[in-house]
Homo-oligomer: A and B are copies of this chain.
Amino acid sequence: MFIQNAWYVACSLAELEALAPKPLARTICNHKMVFFRGPDGIPAAIEDFCPHRGAPLSLGKVCEGKLICGYHGLAMGHQGKALSMPGQRVTGFPAVQAYAAVERYGFLWVWPGDQTVADVAQLPSYDFLDHPDWAYGGGMYHVEADYRLMIDNLMDLTHETYVHANSIGQREIDEAPSTTSVEGDQVILQRHMKGINAPPFWQMAMTAHGLDPQARVDRWQICRFTPPSHVMINVGVALEGHGGFDAPLECKASGVVVDFITPETERSHWYHWGMARQFKPGDTVLTQKIREGQAKIFSEDLEILELQQANIERWPDRRLLMLNIDSGGVKSRRLISKYMAHEKS
């Protein structure tokens, strides 16, 4: 159900630092992992299982780049090997699986699948996440639903009118036609709404950016899915008639909704969400305000998705409809399936 040979976001670096010197435990694509910083601070991901008596290594503590089991003090290295243990020779101890782990863009990325093909060059490139002209704020939710339901959700924003009626939803989303295309390994769904009033969230952003929130605007949503499960959405509003997405910076409030969707199991996932914006990057109060707005919006999705998951499990034989508005999700799932078939062959 998920691609194994790919980079997934395991956690934000902030999560990792907050726990230190404790490591962080998390299941990724059915692999029960523990994350910590090894020698010289390099990120490490190994199985959360002490080869001595099976205790979770995540109960332990990191000491000088080694993960010390909290039960009897076995020291595990970042490559999953037993390094030492009081009063024991550990040469013959079985190793546990180590996973390739890299930090980038404020996140720890992990490759859960075949380690012999783990390739840093395949890490996705999102330069705006590192760029000084951009600001980023985000958070994470654990969602009891198939991660593909989240992809469906994000690749079809007509739901905003219903699920997020009080923030970003507006009837014009339903009314504006969308186009879906596949470009290489990217599924792109876009919708452009012209000459409309901005919904509450964007009115707030326009005000923050010094634009009249009551002005008529052109609004856009450009959703880009890339395997294994990342969705970047260019969103924004520009004063009417200035070119929409292509309008000059001073006429628009815009950003990228960042969605890293990491499967935990077949029926649950970690949803790392956030927004990168190109205006007022130094305004941390605004960053916090947007984060709070997003947290509320995505909690509405979370509620829907968990109940949708339960309903689908209740009626496992029912086929769902695949309408034109669903084509973004449909094409994304098709790409996932293609990758998975490739992995098996």
Task: Indicate if A53 sits at the interface (CB-CB under 8 A).
Answer: yes
Contact indicator B318/A71 (Cβ below 8 Å): no
Q: How far is the CA of A171 from the CA of B87 in the complex (A)?
A: 11
Kindly supply a per-residue 1/0 record for chain A positions 212-244, scoring 1 wherever the CB is within 8 Å of any chain B CB and 0 otherwise: 000000000000000000000000000000000
Chain B residues near A158: list those with CB within 8 A.
72-73, 86-87
Binds B, one of A16-24, A132-140, A194-202, A303-311: A303-311
The one of B52, B56, B59, B315 in contact with A320, judged by C-beta atoms closer than 8 angstroms, is B52
CA distance A40 to B69 in the complex (A): 53
From A55, A59, A86, A177, residue with most partner B Cβ within 10 Å: A55
A49-B315, A73-B161, A175-B86 are contacts. A55–B307 as well, Cβ < 8 Å?
A: yes
Chain B residue nearest to A301 (CB atoms) is B71
In the complex, per-residue mask of A131-159: 1 if CB is within 8 Å of any chain B CB, else 0 = 00000000000000000000010001011
Assembled-state Cα–Cα distance A152/B318 (Å): 38
Question: Do residues B315 and A162 form an inter-chain contact, with CB atoms below 8 A?
Answer: no
- Which A positions have Cβ atoms within 8 angstroms of B? 32, 48-49, 51-56, 59-60, 68-73, 86-88, 93-94, 152, 156, 158-159, 161-163, 171, 174-175, 177, 303-304, 307-308, 310-312, 314-315, 318, 320-321, 323-326
Q: List 17 A-B contacts (CB under 8 A).
A: A32-B311, A48-B311, A49-B311, A51-B321, A53-B321, A53-B326, A54-B320, A55-B307, A55-B311, A56-B307, A70-B162, A71-B163, A71-B304, A72-B162, A73-B161, A86-B158, A86-B161
Asked if B32 and A69 sit within 8 Å, CB to CB, the answer is no
Residue pair A321, B163 in contact (C-beta under 8 Å):
no
Does A308 contact B53, Cβ atoms closer than 8 Å? yes
Known contacts being A32-B314, A54-B311, A307-B56, is A159 close to B86, with CB within 8 Å?
no
Q: Which of B56, B93, B326 contacts A311 (CB 8 A)?
A: B56
Contact indicator A54/B312 (Cβ below 8 Å): yes
- How far apart are A265's CB and chain B's nearest CB, in angstroms? 12
Q: How far is the CB of A28 from chain B (nearest CB, A)?
A: 14
Residue among B49, B87, B323 making CB contact with A88, cutoff 8 Å: B323
